[in-house]
Amino acid sequence: MKNTTYIILFAALVFSTVGCKKFLNVTPIEAQSGNNFWKTREDVEGFTNGIYSRLRSKVAGTPQFFNGDDRAFFPALEVRGNSVSVISLDNSGANTFNALISNNMNYIVASNNRYDRLMKDIMNWKAWYDVIAASNILYQEVDKVPTSSLSDTDKKRYKAEAVFLRNLSYMFICKLFGDAVYYTEAYHSTSLPRTSQVTVMNKCIADMSAAKADLPVFYSDVNANGFRPTRASAIALLMHLNMWAAAWDSGSKTKYYESVKTLATELDTYSNYKILPVTAANTLKIFKGRSSESLFGILQDFNYGEGFSLPAGFSYYFSHYPYQGNVNKTASSMAYQSDYIKKLYPANSTDARLTTWFENYDSGSGTFQFKKFANIYSTGSGSSISVTSDDSAIIFRLPDCYLLTAEALAELGDESGARDFANRVTIAANAPLIIQSGQDLKDEIYRERCRELIGEGQYFFDLVRTKRVVNSDFTKSPMSVANLNAGAWTWPLTITAAERSANPNLIGNNFWN
């Protein structure tokens, strides 16, 4: 079987190393392969958890510090192009993040300190294709499990889960790199060129739409909710796929906005999901996961040995003791710039997010404290105590969907509906109602996404998707329209010599090459 670029035909590796997520209480699979593997529900669950392990490794790494398995995925997505000041960061980290803020990706490519290496991990799409390849194997092979061990309904659920995971991966690939190499068959071995991201989005939309009904509305196992996909998770993914496609398919925007509107109507029928008022207690619930807002995320829980690498957490950069670090860490390494943050959250606002999520929010200095991610665990004692974030990575949650819906409705000219959906979020935050019209309404919905989703890794994607990345009113590092169209918004794509040899069709992102 031929080697391919990006697709790692790694069935044997998965079967031998998947391990399990402790919170799902599944026995690890050891050295099983082929027809010997697909026998029981436990086999399928173990393989599936191996896929989640790969997804988690890509975005969160492991708890050791700067050991080669560290990640800074979601913080990097939030910081790129943002109005952020680097106060102090060790080992030339300030240079790396200042380059990221100014969209100087070539500096990062040419440099090699440990923070540069964290960014370079994002530039490699192999792990996303590992998830896709494993998902495709799951989709095909689960039908081989005897019905006496796994019902037809459960087989359909696992297949829908595989569809969700591969389409989630394609979403991130396209949002990071633009065009993608697209395939859905198991054990794929043919060299393929990159496909237009609009085409990929439409294939993903059709794929996920066809499988959505085979996912549960809610799991009876409370441990699974928020961390295994449901129909609501699929709706959130479909909303993002549609809105990303609308950004680049200029001749067909309306159909994507109409799809988001239809998806929102369905989401409203699921009574298990509700937005929570912004309080300190609810903030802890939301970012631990499994709350009524949680649609999909990746678990972190110190009590179960489920830890992320330190740089993977936003708090590592934007918080200090007692929310991050040891007792001597009295200053945050980064802070939002005062003029930007005061535009988002005016000082005289009743917005509960302002008082709940921040201390010294407009200082622009190390006294800035970000308390949105406030789940923590402590090690040591006395002067040696050290505090680490224990928040999960929440990829999709309900306010995100409401604000995407508001955006779509505003684009469709339904301004009343747009305000209604957006104000579901502002009301929960005790923030001023959105009352604008026209372009002012669209801009305010965008700013509400910035307010509500701050720190969650949505910032740069939203900046690019809405094309506000060219507007200095919305970013301190605007790019020209010509550079945007040429791909300056993408991440450089690392292609190894072995990958080029395996797939002569594979090309990088020309803007950065």
Separation CA 178–CA 151 (nearest Å)? 39
Q: What is the pLDDT of residue 14?
A: 41
Q: What pLDDT, in 10s, does the model give residues 18-40?
A: 333 332 223 333 333 455 679 99
Composition of the chain by helix, strand, coil, percent to 5 = 50, 5, 40
How deeply is 66 buried, as exposed, middle or buried, from its count of CB atoms within 10 A (0-12, 13-18, 19+)?
Answer: middle
Instruction: Check residue 65 and give its pLDDT.
Output: 67
| Residue ranges in the chain modelled with pLDDT below 50 | 1-33
∠ CA 262-267-268, nearest 5°, is 100
> For 120, phi and psi rounded to 5 degrees?
-65, -25
Contact 82, 464 (CB under 8 A): no
Q: How many CB atoms lie within 10 A of CB 89?
A: 17
3-state DSSP assignment of residue 213: helix
- What pTM was estimated for this model as a whole? 0.93
Q: In this predicted structure, what is the pLDDT of residue 34? A: 53
| 362-405 pLDDT tens trace | 999 999 999 999 999 999 888 889 999 999 999 999 999 999 99
Distance from C-alpha of 167 to C-alpha of 164, rounded to nearest angstrom = 5
Q: In whole angstroms, how far apart are CA 337 and each of 28, 82, 215, 361, 458?
A: 47, 9, 43, 9, 18
CB of 178 within 8 A of CB of 197? yes
DSSP state letters, 198-210: HHHHHHHHHHHHH
Mind listing the domains of the chain with CATH numbers? 41-300+394-502 (1.25.40.390)
> How far is CA 425 from each of CA 274, 307, 422, 436, 451, rounded to the nearest angstrom?
11, 30, 6, 15, 10
Residue 82 CA to residue 457 CA, distance in Å, equals 11
DSSP 8-state assignment for residue 297? E
- Contact assessment for residue 142 and residue 155, using Cβ atoms and an 8 Å cutoff: yes
Sign of the dihedral through C-alpha 410, 414, 419, 424: negative
Identify the residue whose tokens are 């369905």.
266
